[in-house]
Amino acid sequence: MKTRISVIGQGYVGLPLAVAAAEAGFLVTGIDIDETKVKSIQNGISLIEDVSSERLSKQINLGRYTASRDFSVVSDSNLILICVPTPLNLEQKPDLSYVLNSICEISKYLKQNTLVILESTVEPGTTRNIVLPAILRESNLNIDQVELAFSPERIDPSNKIWSLENTPKIVSGINDKSRKRALEFYSKFIKTVISCDSPEIAETAKLLENSFRLINISFINEISIFCDILGIDIHKVIAAAKTKPYGFMAFFPSLGAGGHCIPVDPIYLVNKSHEIGAPSNLIELAYKINKEMPRYFVNKAEEKIGMLRGKKVLVVGVSYKPNVADTRDTPVKHLIKELENKGALVSWHDDLVKEWKGEKSVTLSNNYDLAILATPHAYIDLTKLGDVPILNPRGSI
Report the CATH number of the 4-197 domain.
3.40.50.720
Q: Is 294-391 the same fold as 4-197? A: yes
Domain ranges of the chain: 4-197, 294-391
Among 3.40.50.2300, 3.30.2290.10, 3.40.50.720, 3.40.50.970, name the CATH number for the domain at 294-391.
Answer: 3.40.50.720
Compute the distance between CA of residue 33 and CA of residue 260 in angstroms, rounded to an integer: 19
Contact between 4 and 21 (Cβ < 8 Å): no
Contact between 340 and 333 (Cβ < 8 Å): no
Query: Measured in whole angstroms, how far is the alpha carbon of residue 25 from the centre of its chain?
Result: 27
- Contacts of 284 by beta carbon, 8 Å cutoff, 6+ apart: 270
Is residue 1 pLDDT above 80, yes or no?
Answer: no
Is residue 84 pLDDT above 80, yes or no?
Answer: yes
Name the strand (E) or helix (H) holding 360: strand 359-360
Determine the pLDDT at residue 2: 81
pLDDT tens for each residue of 204-226: 999 999 999 999 999 999 999 99
Q: Residues 95-123: what's their mean pLDDT?
A: 97
Is residue 258 pLDDT above 70, yes or no?
Answer: yes
pLDDT tens for each residue of 351-374: 999 999 999 999 999 999 999 999
Is residue 397 pLDDT above 60, yes or no?
Answer: no
pLDDT tens for each residue of 304-351: 999 999 999 999 999 999 999 999 999 999 999 999 999 999 999 999
Q: What residues are annotated to the active site?
A: 261
- This prediction has a pTM of 0.93
Is residue 396 pLDDT above 60, yes or no?
Answer: no
Determine the pLDDT at residue 322: 93
Is residue 238 pLDDT above 60, yes or no?
Answer: yes
Name beta bridge partners: 240: none
Determine the pLDDT at residue 32: 97
If you average pLDDT over every residue of the chain, what do you get? 95
CA distances from 87 to 81, 260, 315, 316, 349 (A): 18, 8, 26, 26, 27
